[in-house]
Chains A and B, each alone.
Chain A
């Protein structure tokens, strides 16, 4: 027995028993802790566990294509890759930046700026460093999976506009869904969705948008994909066929090179829009990837408003084109006899003010008034009719209200009336104002598409066609504003004269062989006479021409506006003639109608789909 060990001390049984009780109590406390997690909050944690390992990855559905009336591709979609930079490992990120900049050809300043901008965003949100990866970029990411795990590829669908700037304002563009739309339609959209922002892309968004698919993958604790659980394929958006004729569009676009203005060509029987031009315009392919902030700002600030679709949004004085409304009003209202004549000495005084005319036309009747576009004749007609009668016929023929074309943002134009001036300006209508309105100046404003529809209606006895761009328009709404045959005969006779008679305003310059081409010119001041006087300079007028063929019951109607183009007869009329001529050349077989085969060369070949990392480790 060791000397330090004396066995005279008893074992402290009481304290040992107490130790046992305390141990049992502690185990019970622990079990209560586990009970809380595993039974009380079990569902909460089960939910967290579910979200932990399973990650949904959206499979973006491509938007439907847009085809022209013969099935040629105007817009389509192609798969592409974005390169994402993960930001949740700052150390590795810092270390890898030079290699990434080098490998992907990104300017260091740009990348730093992007990182700086995203500094306060949650770290798990990756940064899109290359929205449109080239094949070399993809290869770089794939071959550096091991040492640059912070780079990821994401498949996206992009819009492709093979026509480039052609038809751009009509087709519109796409972009990320706005926070406002997200808030309004939380079921329909999710953040980052690409939606139509303007034009047909916006109008028919719901029809061409596909249904995104979903892939659910299992990831491990470092986010690497271990396996795919299930895969719901994306349903691509359906294509839509437009009424546009790419051939006519090309001809019109070519004629508008370096010009400002707009053109609308329609089938005058159905309202199908065959061509629609607006200049200046923009490059929609820039919007398909990511439009640089600077470019977007300059597009919006540009005083020439390239984002505006002038064919439906430019509200301008129609000038002498409005005389067609005046002539119709004069004959239909019977306020003046059809034989009404006026002597034109080159100007006239009304209410103490001198109103000018281009020439001294001498004795002028309705026919000559239209053919030679005599202002003095129509000043007198206007004075006799009064503003409300003019307003009635202008509105009846579709001015001052939307045509209902299937595009967002159409403007109404303006047809003044006594009621309107009292409502808006709180004073009585000055009779002198009627004189200006009589020749399409003053308060009256119209859009190109309204004028095309108006002329077609007059030439067809008052049938207002419903302009539309979708080939299978569901509900074409023809309006009727019946005109007597005599009226139609006399007014169309005048418009035929404009093109074909020697003293017509077009001086026979735009005559077409074998085609009953008719129309009306307009040359509209862009500001008041007073303002011109004050500025001491003469700004060039807007040139208008609305042409159609044949003379009665027309097949095609084309309205053209050339801003600051000067005389409508020399600026706008030749363009309209070209389009009408092309239409008849095609019809007569002179211009080969295209086969339905797609003749669009594939734009930069879409990169091959690469494994998204389904294999583990």
Chain B
């Protein structure tokens, strides 16, 4: 037993996997942008990774129990922040997602992901049961729906959706009863057609995204064009890929936001099925390693924190990869650690900081 948590207790194999994923991401960002007006983007991404690593160390210093102690305060801060976005935030591309903090734009919804992990970990620990009652489930649903609704209002369907798996995974480990789970799944199955009929209440761009997802070939110049071009990029990459910097779909800009949300399409084109295998297996390795950390956590609170992080990262990978090959609509969910993006990258490192936090303290009393 040690008295103090040590940096040596960080999960270095996990961080090695993260490092390789980041490196592949930076290289692919370079390949996608070096011949365009956005040249030099990889340096910015590296800067964000650096900031993220710093954040990871910082967040690992604060005992996660302390964080969980302050969960209600953090929750309130998050809600106020989201309201702030709606009131004083500014718009880009028709969505109000950013507020300005000290000259830097900040996506509060990214922060909300971290907060919801902490809040739900606290909640499920406090329930202290292996059989969640309906009442418990109703409470956790209410807790989640407030930020989800606020994020949907921005509107940002993608990030709003990301909060849901944290609840589902948390409930799963907190001992949701199989009959409740079955009813829940049934409800979702019923809600989807209902939501489909309510689709006219969606924003036009969301309607279009769904429409396009269902019939990508009908609107070749519009949003369906994005999915089609992504599929062409992936498919034309073949088994071995076209080579670094040689993907025509990528280099000629046919792949939409090829350095960000569609970076996996760019990689699939240039590195082929082999490259995709490497990347997806790295992500699987990352997830399995995270689960291992959860298994070795000192207490349930730690496990909930780690699995909350795992749920979000896993969901990102699943939805992003599915979108790239046309299995899911375009929702604007980036591929963690590879897609270009400051807030998103910083979030992942902060989340990993929470994991390190739990790991470091597994032997500490």
Chain A residues with a Cβ under 8 A of chain B: 1-2, 4-7, 9, 11-13, 15-16, 19-20, 23-24, 26-27, 30-31, 33-39, 41-42, 44-46, 48-50, 52-53, 88, 123, 218-222, 226, 617
Contact = CB atoms under 8 A, between A and B. Distances in A.
28 contacts: A1-B65, A2-B69, A5-B125, A7-B300, A9-B299, A13-B295, A16-B307, A19-B172, A23-B291, A33-B327, A34-B277, A38-B234, A38-B235, A38-B239, A42-B238, A45-B232, A45-B235, A48-B235, A49-B232, A49-B248, A49-B249, A49-B254, A50-B248, A52-B248, A219-B252, A220-B252, A220-B254, A222-B253
Interface stretch (B3-11, B148-156, B282-290, B340-348): B282-290
Interface string B140-178: 000000000000000000000000000001001101000
B229 interface: yes
Nearest 3 pairs of A and B residues by beta carbon: A45-B235, A49-B236, A37-B235
A5 B65 contact: yes
Contacts of B232: 45, 48-49, 52
A551 to B, nearest CB: 77
Contacts of B106: none
A52 B254 contact: yes
A36 B291 CA distance: 29
Contacts of A35: 273
Interface in B264-304: 268-269, 272-273, 276-277, 280-281, 283-284, 287-288, 291, 294-295, 297-301, 303
B314 A23 contact: yes
Nearest to A15: B173
B233 interface: yes
B231 interface: yes
Contacts of B299: 5, 7, 9
Interface string B218-259: 000100000001011111111100000000110011100000
A4 to B, nearest CB: 4
B115 interface: no
B281 A4 contact: no
- The secondary structure that dominates the B interface is helix
A35 to B, nearest CB: 6
B318 interface: yes
A6 B288 contact: no
Given A31-B280, A53-B248, A220-B252, A20 B291 contact: yes
B234 A31 contact: no
B235 A218 contact: no
- The secondary structure that dominates the A interface is helix
A4 B272 contact: no
B231 A221 contact: no
A30 B280 contact: yes
Nearest to B253: A221
Given A31-B276, A220-B253, A42 B284 contact: no
Contacts of B277: 31, 34
B112 interface: no
B298 A7 contact: yes
Nearest to B238: A42
Contacts of A9: 128, 130, 299-300
Nearest to B303: A11
Given A37-B325, A49-B233, A2 B65 contact: yes
Given A31-B277, A49-B232, A12 B175 contact: yes
Given A15-B172, A33-B321, 18 more contacts: A4-B125, A9-B128, A13-B295, A15-B173, A20-B287, A24-B288, A26-B314, A31-B276, A34-B268, A37-B268, A38-B273, A42-B236, A42-B238, A45-B234, A49-B236, A52-B229, A53-B248, A221-B253
B129 to A, nearest CB: 9
Among A27, A36, A37, A42, chain B packs the most CB atoms within 10 A around the CB of A37
B229 A221 contact: yes
Nearest to B281: A27
Interface in B316-344: 318, 321-322, 325, 327
Contacts of B234: 34, 37-38, 45
A50 B253 CA distance: 14
B313 to A, nearest CB: 10
Given A30-B318, A53-B252, A42 B298 contact: no
Nearest to A33: B325
B68 interface: yes
Contacts of B314: 23, 26
Contact of A6 (B128, B253, B297): B128
Nearest to A38: B273
A217 to B, nearest CB: 11
Among A7, A16, A53, chain B packs the most CB atoms within 10 A around the CB of A16
B361 interface: no
A42 B249 contact: no
Contacts of A37: 231, 234-235, 268, 325
Contacts of B237: 38, 42
B236 A45 contact: yes
A19 B238 contact: no
A133 to B, nearest CB: 27
A316 B237 CA distance: 72
B321 A30 contact: yes
B122 interface: yes
Contacts of B310: 19
A26 B316 CA distance: 13
A53 B253 CA distance: 9
Given A30-B321, A49-B249, A16 B235 contact: no
Given A2-B69, A19-B169, A30 B322 contact: yes
A53 B291 CA distance: 44
A5 B301 contact: yes
Given A5-B65, A26-B318, A33-B322, A46 B294 contact: no
A168 B175 CA distance: 94
Nearest to B228: A48
A175 to B, nearest CB: 32
Contacts of A123: 221
Contacts of A219: 252
Nearest to B298: A7
Among B37, B280, B281, chain A packs the most CB atoms within 10 A around the CB of B280
B229 A38 contact: no
Given A5-B299, A19-B169, A221-B254, A24 B284 contact: yes
A617 B252 CA distance: 12
Contact of A2 (B37, B68, B276, B280): B68
B311 to A, nearest CB: 9
B208 to A, nearest CB: 15
B231 A45 contact: yes
A346 to B, nearest CB: 85
Contact of A38 (B252, B268, B303): B268
Contacts of B280: 27, 30-31, 34
B93 to A, nearest CB: 17
Among B239, B252, B287, chain A packs the most CB atoms within 10 A around the CB of B252
B252 to A, nearest CB: 5
Contact of A221 (B130, B252, B300): B252
A218 to B, nearest CB: 7
Contacts of B268: 34, 37-38
A433 B43 CA distance: 103
B307 A19 contact: yes
A26 B272 CA distance: 20
Contact of B238 (A11, A33, A39, A617): A39
Contacts of A52: 229, 232, 248-249, 252, 254
Contact of B284 (A16, A27, A39, A218): A27
B180 to A, nearest CB: 15
B284 A23 contact: yes
A506 B288 CA distance: 115
Contacts of B233: 49
Contacts of B235: 37-38, 41-42, 44-46, 48-49
Nearest to B220: A124
A42 B295 CA distance: 41
Contacts of B325: 30, 33-34, 36-37
